[in-house]
Structure 1
């Protein structure tokens, strides 16, 4: 087993990465249903929490079936980040995570996310302020460094552990790489194998198959992996990775009935969380992604994205089940979407 403070996870846990405009409560529930061991909220602005904005309050929502779940916050001001940590504490998630990895210009220019990688002393102070402000275990997600000349993750890991974090997730790119090129896991492995490091180290970046997950587990010795882009439109990646690690056998991909069931579950949770109108609107992109690969699907797609009543959507989904009875999806490599082109900030 792997422990994050008092949180007990299975051996080699599989984590759903926090992703803006993706990892909302409905999607997190679907990923948990399909084998994710720990999930995280979309990142939440510390300034927004302090100002009590509706958007930030809404992002603190947690469904019971998601647990264990971490709330992720970001910010570049020690006092506001500490205040935000205290606010999160009151909502009683399982842990608090700090985002030091988001590479988007708007976040970086505010001195937050991976912008903090330019000032490691500030990163340490921000982290320590959160640790002191909350009773929750504090974890961090970050990158290797700002650019090729400042890959300082080995020093960062030691210093953050020293001020009290309970786990560290590392994305194998620098900020300047964004999501381009291949993730470098060698430094992640060095952090994990540093004898001074006692906390769990989770690797993140380019995990898009069960085979790669097992290979990286064996090669780098990490405690678990965090999966992000490969789960978008394909939450079954978690169960496939777990099964392959346990048995060495590849599971077949989800059939049509499983895909429709995922649509229905996420739709019902989306409506529960957002209300009927906004819940249905938010689900349109997900439903068509789950059902991608069905031939001559244009008419059904049009009906799915134009329906405005829950029952109508369920009826269309049931019709799809009948119309494509016996259809077998082609097992193709999971496509790593260009995340920030698909997610509005």
Structure 2
């Protein structure tokens, strides 16, 4: 079983990002969340989310939807052909558009359908199958134990629990007690997710009894978090390490997506890498207004030299 897992994050966990967090110790990574209908109807934009390198190891794909027949066909015809180790189904996404389509976390209202979806995937693949859930729609509907019962009957290989409600998005306090109850009850490995940013917050999740952990926002601008968690001490990237990572990440992004997309998509990563550094707001604003990668590299070199002198 994987111990430290990088969460699937929309617009973030592409091939370049996955390779970087793997280098720093992530045991398993996931693609961005993929719509099964997009795969079924062969949508070009959807397929671009499934760019998996030939040498990538320990990578999973996360999918979402609700139509069981489409899920079956996509699993059998397409997901089985991918070099992925895990197929994860998302029952936790809180995004309004997905929720209104009765997908993602909206499925928490239909525990039986959740179990049926996992069964459908397992019947059509030999790959590991997992599911990601939240503990409920809101604090008035914390039905995670009912959901657990339905999923256990379907027997996924593991269940990741984001211990917040759909209404709580990413800002609600993590409900450690809910994870603890699930760990004590479940016959299936539970992966604890929510609020892991350092050794101290990991310890709170360890107290639930969980043995595996999923990191999300804690890895943004800080892939070193995985090495920190494994070594049991809070490590920090030096200034030079941060700068080297920016250039490394940028070059990977250019290789996999081309210069135009890299220019725009790297802006958020640069902001995370430089967060808290002296004069970082100025350089971030300058980079966000640039339309030339060559000029962005010049600005980064200038910023590095000014900080070192």
TM over 0.5, yes or no? yes
The CA deviation at 1:314 is: 3.7
Higher relative contact order (CA 8 A, sep 6+): 1
Q: 1:313 to 1:77 in 2, by over 3 A?
A: same
The CA deviation at 1:93 is: 0.7
Matches within 5 A, 1:105-254: 105-194=96-185, 197-217=186-206, 219-244=207-232, 249-251=233-235, 253-254=236-237
SS in 1 for 2:123: helix
Q: For residue 89 of structure 2, what is the aligned residue in structure 1? A: 98
Contact 1:144/1:153 (<8 A) preserved? yes
The CA deviation at 1:143 is: 0.8
Distance, in Å, in 2 between the alignment partners of 1:47 and 1:28 is 24
Q: 1:258 to 1:180 in 2, by over 3 A?
A: same
Q: 1:300 to 1:157 in 2, by over 3 A?
A: same
Matches within 5 A, 1:303-314: 303-314=286-297
Distance, in Å, in 2 between the alignment partners of 1:259 and 1:38 is 23
Distance, in Å, in 2 between the alignment partners of 1:301 and 1:114 is 34
Distance, in Å, in 2 between the alignment partners of 1:299 and 1:98 is 41
1:252-298 per-position Cα deviation (integer Å, ceiling 9, x unaligned):
x1111111121122111211221121122211221132112332345
Q: Report runs of 4+ in structure 1 exceeding 6 Å deviation.
A: none
Distance, in Å, in 2 between the alignment partners of 1:64 and 1:35 is 19
SS in 1 for 2:195: coil
The CA deviation at 1:65 is: 5.6
Q: 1:255 to 1:104 in 2, by over 3 A?
A: same
The CA deviation at 1:140 is: 0.2
Of 29, 35, 50, which residue of structure 2 is paired with 1:60?
A: 50
Contact 2:60/2:86 (<8 A) preserved? yes
Q: For residue 18 of structure 1, what is the aligned residue in structure 2? A: 8
The CA deviation at 1:130 is: 1.1
Q: 1:306 to 1:66 in 2, by over 3 A?
A: farther
Contact 1:144/1:152 (<8 A) preserved? yes
Contact 2:61/2:88 (<8 A) preserved? yes
The number of residue pairs the alignment matches comes to 308
The CA deviation at 1:324 is: 1.2
Of 233, 253, 256, which residue of structure 2 is paired with 1:270?
A: 253
1:79-104 per-position Cα deviation (integer Å, ceiling 9, x unaligned):
11122223122112111000000011
Of 267, 282, 289, which residue of structure 2 is paired with 1:284?
A: 267
Q: 1:57 to 1:298 in 2, by over 3 A?
A: same
Distance, in Å, in 2 between the alignment partners of 1:280 and 1:180 is 30
SS in 1 for 2:260: helix
TM-score normalised according to structure 2 size: 0.92
Distance, in Å, in 1 between the alignment partners of 2:249 and 2:257 is 12
Distance, in Å, in 2 between the alignment partners of 1:279 and 1:34 is 22
SS in 2 for 1:177: coil
The CA deviation at 1:306 is: 4.5
